[in-house]
């Protein structure tokens, strides 16, 4: 049977499918175990497969797309209004299909494995930074219980630990705990620095980022001004900031051109 569209509500173990034929009649309502999905779609002719853009959806989009199917990922917030009655897997699959049937419905771009890997590094970096902040705040809070108050910031941790270690009025057990917390914060700092270097390397290796950095370095007066304004003492940081800002500006210009159907109007350069 040829389907016009198949919507999939994914889960850890069982996937729920909802399919329409060319006459937009619901002709498929079934559940497949994870291991059955590949075989099922390998036997089907090319069709539109719709998933909700959630955990694991990009993986399945790549897998099914490699088998020739046209994949669409719909943002969850756009699917929710189409859920009828109580929320369950079958109603969710039907809602995904209903949302995809709307001509103006937006889709999410399918990420490559490399893009997801870079996203994992960034999320892990952000998680470690959050953990470091929590650990430092906890350390400062415990120190306050013993009358020691210091300013905020990671740079104040080492002096704080030195004060706590030298204060004989603090019980030995508490001082030992402060040492353990300091070692934990130090380990977090080391891992954050390593991930920061890895993210910088990925940023430089990205062709788009590299090209934008070159534009910001030697290109427009706007980019040059931004690069100097952000951090005059750190040229690299200023260039990267200018590159991202310039990319944002270019994206807004392109969107305006597409939305209004206009050609690009070059802005006149004002003499210094």
pLDDT digit string (tens) for 123-159? 999 999 999 999 999 999 999 999 888 888 788 888 8
Distance between CA 229 and CA 235 in Å, rounded?
Answer: 10
Strand partners, 49: 6, 71
* Contact (CB, 8 A) for 60 and 51: yes
Which H/E stretch holds residue 94?
A: helix 89-100
What pLDDT is recorded for position 114?
87
What pLDDT is recorded for position 99?
94
Q: Which among 225, 227, 223 has a CA at the least distance from the CA of 215?
A: 223
For 227, phi then psi, to 5°, come to -60, -35
- DSSP code of 150? -
Which H/E stretch holds residue 27?
A: strand 26-33
What pLDDT is recorded for position 46?
93
39, two tokens:
């075989």
Burial class (CB in 10 A: 0-12, 13-18, 19+), 226: buried
* Contact (CB, 8 A) for 163 and 144: no
| Ranges of the chain whose pLDDT falls below 70 | 203-243, 267-272
Distance between CA 249 and CA 255 in Å, rounded?
Answer: 10
For 31, phi then psi, to 5°, come to -125, 140
What pLDDT is recorded for position 234?
47
Q: Which among 47, 82, 85 has a CA at the least distance from the CA of 64?
A: 47
Which H/E stretch holds residue 73?
A: strand 70-74
Contacts of 37 (CB under 8 A, 6+ apart): 15, 60, 63
Is the Cα torsion angle 149, 152, 155, 157 positive or negative in sign?
positive
pLDDT for 108-119, tens place per residue?
899 999 888 888
What pLDDT is recorded for position 88?
87
Burial class (CB in 10 A: 0-12, 13-18, 19+), 155: exposed
Q: Which among 154, 160, 161, 165 has a CA at the least distance from the CA of 131?
A: 154
Q: Is the pTM of this model over 0.85?
A: no
Instruction: With H, G, I as helix, E, B as strand and everything else as coil, classify residue 151.
Output: coil
The CATH code of the domain at 5-100 is 3.30.420.40
What pLDDT is recorded for position 12?
86
């Amino acid at each position: 049977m040829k389907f016009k569209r198949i919507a999939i509500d994914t889960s850890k173990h069982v996937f729920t499918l909802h399919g329409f034929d060319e006459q937009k009649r619901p002709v498929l309502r079934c559940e497949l175990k994870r291991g059955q999905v590949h075989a099922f779609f390998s036997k089907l002719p090319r069709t539109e497969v719709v998933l909700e853009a959630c955990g694991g959806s990009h993986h399945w989009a790549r897998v099914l797309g490699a088998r020739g199917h046209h994949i669409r990922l719909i943002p969850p917030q756009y699917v929710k209004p189409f859920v009828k009655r109580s929320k369950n897997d079958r109603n969710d699959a039907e809602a995904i299909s209903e949302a995809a049937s709307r001509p103006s419905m937006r889709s999410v771009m399918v990420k490559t494995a490399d893009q997801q890997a870079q996203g994992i590094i960034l999320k892990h970096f952000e998680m470690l930074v959050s953990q470091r902040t929590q650990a430092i705040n906890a350390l400062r809070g415990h120190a306050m219980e013993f009358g020691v108050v210091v300013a905020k910031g990671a740079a104040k941790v080492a002096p704080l630990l030195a004060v706590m270690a030298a204060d004989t009025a603090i019980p030995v057990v508490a001082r030992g705990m402060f040492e353990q917390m300091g070692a934990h914060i130090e380990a977090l700092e080391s891992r954050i620095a390593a991930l920061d270097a890895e993210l910088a390397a990925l940023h430089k290796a990205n062709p788009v980022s590299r090209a934008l950095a070159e534009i910001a370095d030697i290109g427009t007066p706007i980019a040059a001004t931004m690069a100097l304004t952000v951090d005059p003492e750190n040229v690299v940081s200023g260039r990267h900031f200018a590159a991202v800002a310039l990319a944002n500006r270019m994206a807004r210009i392109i969107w305006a051109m597409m939305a209004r159907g206009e050609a690009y109007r070059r802005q006149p350069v004002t003499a210094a």
